[in-house]
Amino acid sequence: MNDQPAVAVRFRDVSRHFGDVKAVDHLNLDIYDKEFFSLLGPSGSGKTTSLRLIAGFEHPSEGVIELYGQNVTRLPPYERDVNTVFQDYALFPHMNIWQNIAYGLMVKKVPKKEREIRVADVLEMVRLKGLEKRKPSQLSGGQRQRVALARALVNHPHVLLLDEPLGALDLKLRQQMQIELKAIQQRVGITFIYVTHDQEEALTMSDRLAVFNHGKIEQVGTPSEVYENPATSFVASFVGISNILSGAAAEKITGSAQPFSIRPEKIRICPPDSTVSDDSCGINGTVRDVIYLGVNTRYLIEIGDGIDINVVQQNLEATSMDVLAARGRPVKLIWQKTHNRHVINEG
């Protein structure tokens, strides 16, 4: 029995330099077959370059890239069994929607009959039936996004690459497309590699994700692993909000200067004279600011030396009047020690 899934994409010590800039720096990564995998990171972190390396638009300065065990390092894009959904959609403006979607099939000289069936199939999947004759300029952003998806999927690639495909859509449409994309991925059963800077998007959709920073991967794991056990202070602060405490502040709380992170939703705000049990941490502070967010409220608690701790509380009973009145109040913050996560602080 071999329950290890096949590796769809493998980076072996891949670097890509642009002059002095190391866009991707000694990258090692396995992405498995049929996986929804996200490359998450801020702009300039190397995630898009990594995607372009898989597509073949960029070639590594060093290292090897494999697709299903085949070395594709030097192969041009048109020799690779992957397709891309571009950030700006890159639809051909001089072709109508049908011609755009059929482009890959025309290139591969797929017979007319089959071509028509396959284009009709994907048009149905992305719910664009009836728009075949339109030009891209006559569609809305959301519709163009679907055309770009259909144009890639119609080729039945083994791996679909998506470069921030929802970036230009408004929030509601984006959330709707996130669910739809995930459903389509499960339906067609192929590997999706998804580049995004939106940590919520990555957490929502991915089976696994890699967090990029400065051309390197900080952590690879499932969304819950990455969120609950951030490996580095960068991951802790980039994926969700975290309080990262180190040095004197950490020593004051835990008795050790080793840096750790604590999620704002794990912290309770208590009266200043509350007692702290052995399995908990506690620290006194003053409410410096209160940000009312509707569903919940974010508090900034100053614990001395100009250090703030973020606390998020659900507005279960509280009204905005109640929470805003907390400004300037002395409080004690208490949380269970088990929620502390030691992180590597690269400063």
Partner 1 sequence: MMATITRRPSITRRISTFFYHYPGLSLFLLLLPPLAWLLIVYIGSLAALLVQSFYTIDPMSMLVKEEFTLSTYEELFTAANIDVIKRTVYLAAAVTVGCAVLAFPLAYYMARYANRRIKGLLYLAVMLPLWSSYLVRVYAWRLILVKEGVINSVFEQLGLGSVVEWVIDRPYIGGTGTSLASTYLGMFLVFVYIWLPYMILPIHAALERVPKSLIDASSDLGARPGYTFRRVIFPLAFPGVVAGSIFTFSLTLGDYIVARVIGNSVFYIGPAVSSNLSFNIPLSAAFTVVSVVIMVIYLLIARRLGAFDAL
Q: Which residues contact partner 1 (rule: CB under 8 A)?
A: 55-57, 76-78, 82-84, 86-88, 90-94, 103-104, 107-108, 151-152, 155
Shortest CB 98 distance to partner 1, Å: 14
Other C-beta atoms closer than 10 Å to the C-beta of 311 total: 25
Angular region, 177: left φ>0, alpha ψ -120 to 50, beta rest: alpha
Q: Smaller CB distance to partner 1: residue 60 or 223?
A: 60
Q: Smaller CB distance to partner 1: residue 78 or 279?
A: 78
Sign (positive/negative) of CA torsion 238, 239, 245, 246?
negative
In the numeric block, which tokens belong to residue 146? 């679907």
For the chain, how far is it from start to end, CA to CA, in angstroms? 45
Shortest CB 64 distance to partner 1, Å: 21
CA distance 285 to 310: 12
Q: Smaller CB distance to partner 1: residue 23 or 55?
A: 55
Shortest CB 43 distance to partner 1, Å: 17
Shortest CB 134 distance to partner 1, Å: 14
Shortest CB 45 distance to partner 1, Å: 20
CA distance 14 to 94: 37
Shortest CB 180 distance to partner 1, Å: 22
Shortest CB 188 distance to partner 1, Å: 17
CA distance 73 to 58: 10
Q: Smaller CB distance to partner 1: residue 57 or 68?
A: 57
Shortest CB 148 distance to partner 1, Å: 8
3-state secondary structure 239-264: CCCCEEECHHHHHHHHCCCCCEEECH
Other C-beta atoms closer than 10 Å to the C-beta of 255 total: 9
Q: Smaller CB distance to partner 1: residue 135 or 339?
A: 135
Q: Smaller CB distance to partner 1: residue 83 or 233?
A: 83
Q: Smaller CB distance to partner 1: residue 10 or 80?
A: 80
Q: Smaller CB distance to partner 1: residue 83 or 345?
A: 83
CA distance 313 to 258: 27
CA distance 96 to 132: 7
CA distance 49 to 112: 36
In the numeric block, which tokens belong to residue 145? 């996004």
Sign (positive/negative) of CA torsion 221, 226, 229, 232?
positive
DSSP per residue, 301-318: EE-STT-EEEEEEE-SS-
